Chains A and B, each alone.
Chain A
Amino acid sequence: MTFLNFLISGISLGSIYAIIALGYTMVYGIAKMLNFAHGDVIMVGAYICFYAVSRFSLPPLAGVVLAMLVCTVLGMLVERLAYKPLRAAPSLAVLITAIGVSYFLQNTALLLWSSNPKVFPSVVGNGKIEMFGGQLTISHVTIVTIAACVIIMLALTWFTGNTRMGKAMRACSEDKGAAQLMGINVNATISMTFAIGSGLAAIAGVLLCSAYPTLVPTTGSMPGIKAFTAAVFGGIGSIPGALLGGLLLGVIEIFAKAYISTQLSDAVVFAVLIVVLLVKPAGLLGKQIHEKV
């Protein structure tokens, strides 16, 4: 029974990583860049929702929608101002810009909202489902998060596979130059990718803070890094891979804490990552791409 309880804790932690990883992998898969500011967009989304719900007493759902709108605009703005001018620059320059944006967002949040931690009111409520006479408990947040992950994963897979915009995105991800020659507006497509990724970040932020309710300007950064790891673990660029990677990472982390050592849990998590990448360099579900010479 303890084992099952740990499994559930692992899944609830993993589902949070997964939902963040979906945004990472989406942007990476299409724009081929690591948006390290993703974790901070999550934080902004959580703050917007926090203020909407606790200061302006909007219903939680309205708070989530507002957070998504703000984050979508923010994501497009960041893309327009920080990443678009670097479209032709080496990827290292873009990577460093992303880190700069990440710090910029954190420090702006510090100025706007101060470093005093805030306790986030769960948008899902604090309910839980009890089984086996209360020996096993699953919180509603976990169920909602997993459901959200699956829905987002299916929606994204459908979107990139079946819509015009989705096909344009895939074309851009394969070859930007060729896509442009085929009449695809590459800039608009990448902008759209960021809009979707940032909208997802808002949902992730709200769910992250509903599950683990303290909110500070650095709330997004560590989960962001873990989610990035999860995305690499599952195969970066692969949408189902992000879900799988996130869940596995959460479960491994909790099991490592429970059965090996609370001190070494992160070391174990990253050791597993290294082993997986040695065996499967593209990640669990990643596609091995052979460069044509």
Chain B
Amino acid sequence: MKKKFACLAMAMIMVLSLAACGGKEEAPSSGSESGAAAFMLGGTGPLTGGAAIYGNAAKNGAQIAVDEINAMGGIQFELKYEDDTHDPEKAVNAYNALKDWGMQISLGSVTSKPCEATAAETYADRIFALTPSASSTATTEGKDNMFQMCFMDPNQGSASAQYIADKTLGTKIAIIWKNDDVYSKGIHDTFTAKAAELGLEIVSDTTFADGNDTDFSVQLSDAQKAGADLVFLPMYYQPASLIFAQASNMGYAPKWFGVDGMDGILTMEGFDAALAEGVMLLTPFNADSDDEATKAFVAEYQKRFNEIPNQFAADGYDCVYAYKQALEAAGATPDMSAEELCGLMIEQFTSMTFNGLTGDGMTWDASGAVSKSPKGMVIENGAYVGLD
């Protein structure tokens, strides 16, 4: 019933979200004086709403990269993010606003469903797009100018199954996934396919959806009854935190294996880290890494935004640097049209190798999917520790 009237209430949200943006608008990036020629870089993401944590992280990460690059001299960027509240329709509006602003190259959208919508637009308009984190297959499918910085969902699923089999982490596996979420379903589908290939036995396969994502007793007792010794959780960390709490109440303690959406669980305010003890996950970015570049990024992010950056922030940061590398290699100048840049970028991205925070030696194939190796992590004493 509420949904029927939601569109009528939309006007209200729009006013509110605009007001929200107005309040938080940051000063224009330091390096780009109005006269200096800069590449106009735009992206959409959920800056308000339930998924705002991801949009703001990607935006903040990209902003840091832009400021650093502008301060170096040489290539200059001007960055603009528009709010899409994780809604495909609003993402297209936000994209159109960016086009009016004069966007030449795009950061796509932060989350999968909106990015599928804006990818169709960038494809039609011949604007090159590199999304930090929209990981569904449909984002890049059939579009020669749409590239991803993150793993594609299917790759995460098969990589996880491969990892579990290689390390013999479990023999009887249960999966709990969110069946109204393209991210969760994509990982689930490739995980089960790969598991069958590798001879991993899946003994329990249960789902939840928006609206019944609070009580997991049925899913957990199904896994427990089937004798699962490892539970795979392709989902974001918020439902996962409930699953851990309820399993601990039931006295069920299998091994837990998550995906990149699990990243962030330890920064949840009030979360009892003991519940996540021993949770394993594959993720391309680790804020606790000893790597120099990562340490500098984490310090800068903490200074500016007062929180530890997650993988989305690192993806946003990497996107801008990948653009810098590609634009320099192509000898591109800001007076080129979006269409010219699009051709150059396709050429560069399919041939270059990029080292960033989220992986060394990244390459892209013509479909737009990135190839990099995920790192296995385990949560020990409330911190991520590398598994290998």
Contact = CB atoms under 8 A, between A and B. Distances in A.
Interface stretch (A62-70, A113-121, A183-191, A285-293): A113-121
Main secondary structure on chain B at its contact with chain A? helix
Contact of B2 (A36, A211, A218, A223): A36
A116 B53 contact: yes
B20 A111 contact: yes
B215 A214 contact: no
A117 B238 contact: yes
Interface centre among B6, B16, B208, B219, by most chain A C-beta atoms within 10 angstroms, is B16
B210 interface: yes
Residue picked from B206, B250, B269, most chain A C-beta under 10 Å? B269
A212 B268 CA distance: 15
A121 B270 contact: yes
Contacts of A6: 217-218, 221
Interface stretch (A92-100, A148-156, A166-174): A92-100
A267 to B, nearest CB: 10
B242 interface: yes
Contact of B242 (A13, A116, A128, A213): A213
Contact of B17 (A9, A99, A107, A213): A107
Interface string A119-150: 11100001010000010010100000000000
Interface in B1-60: 1-2, 5-6, 8-9, 12-13, 16-17, 20, 23, 48-53
A13 B268 contact: no
A101 to B, nearest CB: 9
Contact of B52 (A103, A115, A128, A221): A115
Given A6-B217, A119-B268, A214-B241, A100 B9 contact: yes
B218 A96 contact: no
A266 B212 contact: yes
Contact of A226 (B9, B211, B269): B211
Given A103-B13, A120-B270, A225-B2, A110 B52 contact: yes
Interface string B196-221: 00000000001111111111011101
Given A119-B269, A120-B270, A110 B20 contact: yes
A225 B210 CA distance: 12
Contact of A139 (B49, B207, B249): B249
Nearest to A118: B269
Given A139-B249, A266-B209, A95 B218 contact: no
Interface stretch (A22-30, A195-203, A240-248, A255-263): A255-263
A231 B241 CA distance: 29
A6, A103, A216: most-surrounded residue (chain B CB, <10 A)? A103
B245 A257 contact: no
Contacts, number: 130
Contacts of A214: 238, 241-242, 268
Contact of B217 (A134, A218, A254): A254
A226 B8 CA distance: 21
A38 to B, nearest CB: 11
A117 B241 CA distance: 10
A119 B211 contact: no
B16 A119 contact: no
A119 B271 contact: yes
Contacts of B211: 222, 225-226, 266
B225 interface: yes
B179 interface: yes
A99 B13 contact: no
Contact of A115 (B12, B53, B212, B250): B53
Interface string A12-53: 110000000000000000000000100000000000001000
A262 B9 contact: no
Interface string B46-80: 00111111000000000000000000000000000
Contacts of B208: 262
B258 to A, nearest CB: 16
B45 to A, nearest CB: 12
Contacts of B237: 117
A141 B48 CA distance: 32
Interface string B317-343: 000000000000000000000000000
B8 A257 contact: no
B241 A119 contact: yes
B245 A107 contact: no
B16 A107 contact: yes
A110 B49 contact: yes
Contacts of B268: 116-119, 214
A5 B249 contact: no
Given A216-B50, A222-B211, A103 B12 contact: yes
B225 A2 contact: yes
A143 to B, nearest CB: 14
Contacts of A100: 9, 12
- Among A119, A226, A228, max chain B CB count under 10 A is at A119
A283 interface: no
A258 B218 CA distance: 6
Given A119-B241, A253-B215, A254-B218, 15 more contacts: A12-B215, A104-B16, A110-B20, A114-B52, A116-B267, A117-B238, A118-B270, A119-B269, A119-B271, A214-B242, A214-B268, A216-B238, A258-B218, A263-B207, A265-B212
Rank and list the top 3 A-B pairs by shortest CB-CB distance, nearest first.
A119-B270, A115-B52, A9-B217
11 contacts: A2-B225, A6-B218, A103-B9, A104-B12, A110-B20, A114-B52, A117-B238, A139-B249, A214-B241, A266-B211, A266-B212
